[in-house]
Chain A
Amino acid sequence: MDKNKKECKNSELIKELLTCIDEVRKMTDHDRNLMGDYKNDTTLRYPQTKSEYFVDKISTLLAHSDLVSDENEPILDEMLGLAGQLDIDVNQPEVWQDLFKLSDDLRVIK
């Protein structure tokens, strides 16, 4: 993939990433921090809640792409670290807030 196409694709991915984060930002604290009851119902499969759905999508966008690499933004790398935590447990309000801040920073940079 040539550089222009790659930049264009990355731009689209970042746009989608920010859209997902904004969707989560709009949610209530309760909904945002709500995780599936996997402990009591082993038949449940991730993601179960709306918040988990977005985290899954965010972590996939960040992990399954060339966005996070040596030459890319350290912000995205940091975001992936946060997404990894949220991917295990969405009930971490501080992590969410940090993710929102990073998304704001990313929006300013881009």
Chain B
Amino acid sequence: MANDARLEQLKIEQDQAFNRKQDAYQRQQSSWEKLSSAKDKLNHAFDAKQRAYDDQERAWQHSQSVSDDNSPRIKYLNTAQETAYQNMKNAFDRASSAHDAHDGASAKSYSIEGHNYKAEAQGYVDERRRLVDECKRVRAQHEPYKAVFESTKIAFGRAKDEHDKAKAAHERANDDFRRAKDDFDDAAKAFQSRLIELKAENAKRKENNRAIAAKAGVPYQYRNNVYVSEDSDGTINIYFGGLGQPDGFGHGHYAMNSSGSVNYKREPFDPHGHQNFTDSIYWHKEKMSLDRDTGTFQTDNYISIIGDTNQKSKAHIAIDEDGNIVFVRDIGGEILYSRKNGIGYLPDNLDWSK
């Protein structure tokens, strides 16, 4: 995939959005753990409150039960005590009247009767006090349960506050995560969209390159993997068959001019050289001349690409009578060797394609 600044930017944005999403996810997880912990505490507080309530309720019911059981008897004892008291009062009043009437026997009899009523009333009072004390004792036993229940109620309230705060924090974290996820999804979508676009462009470019390679006559097996470049003069260069990549080491190279004529053909791992130029673009002129300094003849070879006669880019290679190369100037005007002028040297690995 060719480098694409937009794709690279979208990749950076996608990665950043992913990181933000991951951070938001971690925060969400952390808040969830806090909420879970708060929920556990809330549940424990609720259970404790319920247990305390039940204990308190049982104590209260017992207290009520005792109170309910004793209440009718207490009411009866109050009435009976009042009746005995009135009877006592009447007996003592009559004893007083009989005493005033000097009726000693009656006075004594009424007095005994009064004392009996007094004892009866006292008996009622004693029993009532015992019953009331029992009610008070049972009620007092309920108080600690009530206090415990109140305490668990407060603890539950605190746990609920903590839980509600944790829940709110978790919901915020959830919202943040959802937003981060949406952002990431958008970024991933934009990246994928551009990727698909580029793939389509690449596929189109590959198809175009394949068509160019086919037009140039590149061997079939290479056509799906060629590198194509265009020179400023419209010449299209097609590279293929290199190691690792089309224009890698040992690549083949075809050149096709703007008219569609292939004027250079080199198959993969074939040597460079003018033999690769097709006749349609390559001209060569050979001419003998006399080197007046040495008095020997030499053969001048002029080689260049076909163009108009004003072109100045031509290679010049001169060979003396003995077959020795005496002058080499490449097509770019670089004098590689001139025996006469003492310029350069004749390299062993001269690139004759130049």
Contacts and interface: CB of A to CB of B under 8 A. Distances in A.
Contacts of A80: 285, 287, 289
A78 B186 CA distance: 79
A81 B327 contact: no
In terms of DSSP, what is the predominant structure of the interface of chain A?
Answer: helix
Given A63-B285, A84-B287, A85-B289, 16 more contacts: A16-B309, A38-B335, A38-B341, A39-B342, A46-B329, A47-B312, A53-B312, A59-B314, A59-B316, A60-B309, A61-B309, A63-B314, A64-B311, A64-B314, A81-B288, A85-B290
Nearest to B283: A64
Residue in A35, A39, A82 whose Cβ sees the most chain B Cβ within 10 Å: A39
Contacts of A89: 338, 340-341
B323 interface: no
Interface of B: 283, 285, 287-292, 298, 300, 302, 304, 309-312, 314, 316, 318, 327, 329, 332-335, 338, 340-344
Contact of B335 (A13, A46, A65, A84): A46
A92 B292 contact: yes
A88 B316 contact: yes
A64 B285 contact: yes
A38 B333 CA distance: 11
A31 interface: no
Residue in A45, A60, A84 whose Cβ sees the most chain B Cβ within 10 Å: A84
11 contacts: A39-B342, A46-B329, A59-B302, A59-B316, A60-B304, A60-B309, A64-B314, A65-B309, A85-B290, A85-B291, A88-B340
A106 interface: no
Contacts of A61: 309
A60 B307 CA distance: 11
A102 interface: no
Contacts of A82: 289
A75 interface: no
Nearest to A82: B289
A94 interface: yes
A80 B56 CA distance: 130
A82 B283 CA distance: 20
Residue in A16, A38, A63 whose Cβ sees the most chain B Cβ within 10 Å: A63
A84 B310 contact: no
Interface residues of A, number: 31
Given A46-B329, A47-B312, A56-B312, A87 B285 contact: no
B329 to A, nearest CB: 6
A64 B331 CA distance: 14
A94 B347 CA distance: 32
Contacts of A85: 289-292
Contact of B302 (A64, A81, A92, A94): A64
Contact of A39 (B298, B311, B327, B341): B341
Contacts of A16: 309
Nearest to B284: A63
Interface in A44-100: 45-47, 53, 56-57, 59-61, 63-65, 68, 77, 80-82, 84-85, 87-89, 92, 94-95
A5 to B, nearest CB: 15
A42 interface: yes
Contacts of A77: 287
Contacts of B341: 35, 38-39, 88-89
A39 B329 CA distance: 13
A108 to B, nearest CB: 23
Residue in B289, B298, B311, B341 whose Cβ sees the most chain A Cβ within 10 Å: B289
Contact of B318 (A39, A46, A88, A94): A88
A57 B287 contact: no
Contacts of B334: 42, 45-46
Given A38-B335, A64-B285, A57 B290 contact: no
Contacts of A94: 292
A60 B314 CA distance: 8
A83 to B, nearest CB: 8
Nearest to B344: A42
A45 B330 CA distance: 10
